[in-house]
Structure 1
Amino acid sequence: MVGLKVAYFGSDFFSIRCLDHLMNLSFKQHHIGTLDLIAKHSKRGGRGNKQILETPIVSYAKLKQLNILRAEKNSEIESLSANSYDLAIAVSYGKLIPQTFLKSLRYGGLNVHPSLLPKYSGPAPLQHTILNGDSVTGVTVQALHPTTFDKGSVLKQEVCHDYRPDSETTESLGLKLADLGGPLLSDVVKFTFDNLILPEPVETSNEYSYAPKPSPSLYQINWNVLSTTEIIRRFNALGPLYTFKHCHVVKKPPFTGLKRVILDKISPIADISSNLSAELTTPGMFTSVEDGLIIKSLDGYIKVKSLKFQGFGSQDSNSFMASLPKRTGDSVHVFLFNDS
């Protein structure tokens, strides 16, 4: 029996990891006979728009010598109907697959979603799982809905038992859920190949919630509001965060106002010395120790090992502190929240 002809729509590391499992399982077991990688068009970027920027999955597809097709507009995706695919798989593609194309497929479409649907439907389930400190998460294989994201029938779902709420980052959790979801996807493909139909939907007990793209405001730290745990969750979910430093420089060019400071390599501190505790009395206050900058949060302290002052490159904490007098003048060592 000839394997299925599959169109795989993907873009990022999560879709690459799922595709890798699919290649190692379904493709090698001949459940898939032909697989075309459908990618978005390359774009120009960089200085002077001289660089050609590709989605990460294109490099993977070239390495695996897959056939790469470009489709982004609805009309371009619909034109793929001429290829007579049996099945479409869309993972982190970031675009709704048109109904016209789905109707042309023998078995419709599949998606791997990194949450226990219908919880965290939407584009940022990984980030919201970490931001909310969820104790349980997992992955879902669903049928593609013709008109709405994440509204398809749930075909398979599994809890991630290797999930570590206190230390997961978006990348680490994404890889774990892809390593769970890729084999689940392969199971659905095998079932479809063997039975000439998609599996029956399964019942889920999770309540619906939506996971939108994180608001830009979440990247700024409000020292008077956020606990150490909340700051660490934001860093793990979103990456580098930022704050502001008041400056009063009288030398040319004179400047009085706020400058942005980006904080990276952030970690929690369980305890500090009594001397440091006495020095850091107000949220946002900071001081330098040998291996980082200690900053007072609402209920504790964090350590930051990399900082980037507005208009300058990244520095370690000692270099940052040494450069402060010239950049900020004679001002108090405290970071501020800018609500304007």
Structure 2
Amino acid sequence: MRPLLRQVAAAPFRSKPCHELLRTRELDALLLRSSNAPISQPAMRRPTQLSRICNGCRQIRQYSSNAATTTIPLKEEVKERKAKKSDPLRILFCGSDEFSCASLEALHQEHVRNPALIQSIDVVVRPGKRTGRGNKIIQHPPIRDLATRLGLPIHERDTFTGWDMPPHTNLIIAVSFGLFVPPRLLRAAQYGGLNIHPSLLPDLRGPAPLQHALLAGRTHTGISLQTLDDRAFDHGLILARTPPLPIPSDTNYAALLAYVTPLAAELLVQGLRDGAHVPPLEEAAEHGHGLEESKSQGQEVIEVPGKPENLLHAPKITKQDRQLRVSNLPYLWRRYRALGPLWFWARDRQGVRRRVIVDRVAGEDATLSDVALTFTLPADTSPGSEFSLDEKQKKTLVLDAAAYAAASGVGPSVPRLVAFEQDDAATSVNGRGISETANSAEQTHLVLWFPEGDSGVCYLGPYRIEMLKVEGDKARPAARALKDFLVSVELSEIE
């Protein structure tokens, strides 16, 4: 009888009392398999045995650890059993921005709803940064304001060196934090650490996965729940992923971030409910092929050297990433949606080098994708001298003029050229920026088109540019902002 009671005790009881479980098919089958003699009725339904079984059920924890008698739960019961094995979580949450705020708020809601799962939450924030005139204003990260509103303990740290976690912390969760959680703290926490990352890892590892997904022209993204690795960012064990999430063709970074943020918070909380953090950890196998065929679609793909699988890396966005160059002009609309305002070096008609900021791009017209973006001309050594176009360039302008005239919403347009430079190094001579490009035999020019009926906007290839800003000045309609840079090209003379 005792071996039989052990099997009964090891069966997944959920919340039903013992005498109800005895009437289930699963237990009937279990008892039948445990008997050596054929039995035509479900075993142990006699009233004289019920009390003995109920007494034995008080020893469930003692018997359930016996490997020889533990049964394999049904597939849908695996996650439920894992969650029950988790001790109440005392979480140390590390965050900074709005993306991490959504995860913290979701964890707090789960703490209120289910304190047996999440017992407490402490929050680590980075110190505020001084901004404004004279650096008199301290701007704190959004996570601090949220933690204060929720009444959670706050720990302000810019380094973990020499710092100990709150006592009894058993799980660290870092979301958009920026500081590496050291192995010392990960080992001290019973369940180590977790992280939510807005990509289908291992693709797009790094601090800017959404921006680089847009830069690469991806049609899908996703979210991954991973462990915190003790050696490198975004190299932990992947515990769960969302299905691929479609990226609308004209979405920008802010809209994409708003779309994935609540989904990331949901994946994190669901992972805790499912016991994804409880050993033995299981790697997620589904949705692991995040890289799409960006190259085959003529898209700008940034490959990681030495990675034959061509996974993309997502490094931090810098000021230079926003600079327009000849190589990335064909992806201007995509780059603007990913990074916001862009900029380029230009020379006005007096030869002064100025930074021009592309403040607002309204979209692109696919029917104009073949028009010329730049011309390479002999260097203009004397301000105001005439440009010398070769026959191919003249023919190109005539064809492009016809394309703009036929394009819906554009109409007849006139071309203008702007001296365009893309090198970063420049010296100053008598107040003028002198660059390597200026001393070369050739000069690159942007080919801009201004619709005759719209004095404000201009087109660079298929891209409609509405607002520009010359550094040191305010944003103006494109035609007005560039009035000191434009050089005329008369189509009537070409024709």
Band the TM-score falls in, shorter-chain normalisation: 0.7 to 0.9
Deviation at residue 277 of structure 1 after TM alignment: 5.4
Q: Which runs of 5+ in 1 are unaligned?
A: 250-255, 335-340
Contact preservation (8 Å) 1:136, 1:159 = no
1:200 maps to 2:282: yes
1:273 maps to 2:434: no
The residue number in structure 2 matching 1:312 is: 473
The residue number in structure 2 matching 1:232 is: 333
- 1:279 partner amino acid: V
The residue number in structure 2 matching 1:45 is: 131
1 or 2, which has the higher strand percentage?
1
Relative to structure 1, the CA distance from residue 136 to residue 198 in structure 2 (aligned partners, 3 Å threshold; closer, same or farther) is farther
SS of structure 1 residue aligned to 2:206: coil
SS of structure 1 residue aligned to 2:472: coil
SS of structure 1 residue aligned to 2:158: coil
1:241 maps to 2:365: no
Measure, in 2, the Cα distance between the counterparts of 1:187 and 1:303. Answer: 44
Relative to structure 1, the CA distance from residue 196 to residue 133 in structure 2 (aligned partners, 3 Å threshold; closer, same or farther) is closer
Measure, in 2, the Cα distance between the counterparts of 1:220 and 1:196. Answer: 46
Cα deviation, 1:55-97, whole Å, max 9, x if unaligned, reads 1211222222222111221225x422x4221111000101110
The residue number in structure 2 matching 1:295 is: 459
1:285 aligned to 429, 445, 448, which one?
448
Normalising by structure 2, we get a TM-score of 0.58
- 1:313 partner amino acid: K
The residue number in structure 2 matching 1:114 is: 198
Instruction: Number of aligned residue pairs: give it.
Output: 313
- 1:47 partner amino acid: R
| Larger RCO (CA within 8 A; separation ≥ 6) | 1
Relative to structure 1, the CA distance from residue 176 to residue 259 in structure 2 (aligned partners, 3 Å threshold; closer, same or farther) is same
Contact preservation (8 Å) 1:5, 1:32 = yes
Measure, in 2, the Cα distance between the counterparts of 1:6 and 1:39. Answer: 14
Q: Which runs of 5+ in 2 are unaligned?
A: 1-83, 291-308, 368-403, 418-445, 490-495
SS of structure 1 residue aligned to 2:263: helix
1:189 maps to 2:292: no
- Larger Cα Rg: Structure 1 or Structure 2? 2
SS of structure 2 residue aligned to 1:21: helix
Relative to structure 1, the CA distance from residue 69 to residue 136 in structure 2 (aligned partners, 3 Å threshold; closer, same or farther) is same
Measure, in 1, the Cα distance between the counterparts of 2:328 and 2:209. Answer: 24
Percent of paired sites with the same residue:
28
Normalising by structure 1, we get a TM-score of 0.82
Report runs of 4+ in structure 1 exceeding 6 Å deviation.
none
1:8 maps to 2:169: no
Contact preservation (8 Å) 1:144, 1:152 = yes
The residue number in structure 2 matching 1:252 is: none
1:56 maps to 2:139: no
- 2:460 partner amino acid: K
- 2:317 partner amino acid: P
Contact preservation (8 Å) 1:260, 1:310 = yes
1:332 maps to 2:487: yes
Measure, in 1, the Cα distance between the counterparts of 2:241 and 2:169. Answer: 25
Contact preservation (8 Å) 2:415, 2:488 = no
- 1:213 partner amino acid: K
Measure, in 2, the Cα distance between the counterparts of 1:71 and 1:146. Answer: 19
The residue number in structure 2 matching 1:258 is: 353
SS of structure 2 residue aligned to 1:142: strand
Cα deviation, 1:233-289, whole Å, max 9, x if unaligned, reads 10111110012342235xxxxxx3221111122122426435855523874314366
Relative to structure 1, the CA distance from residue 257 to residue 7 in structure 2 (aligned partners, 3 Å threshold; closer, same or farther) is same
Deviation at residue 26 of structure 1 after TM alignment: 4.8
Relative to structure 1, the CA distance from residue 201 to residue 107 in structure 2 (aligned partners, 3 Å threshold; closer, same or farther) is same
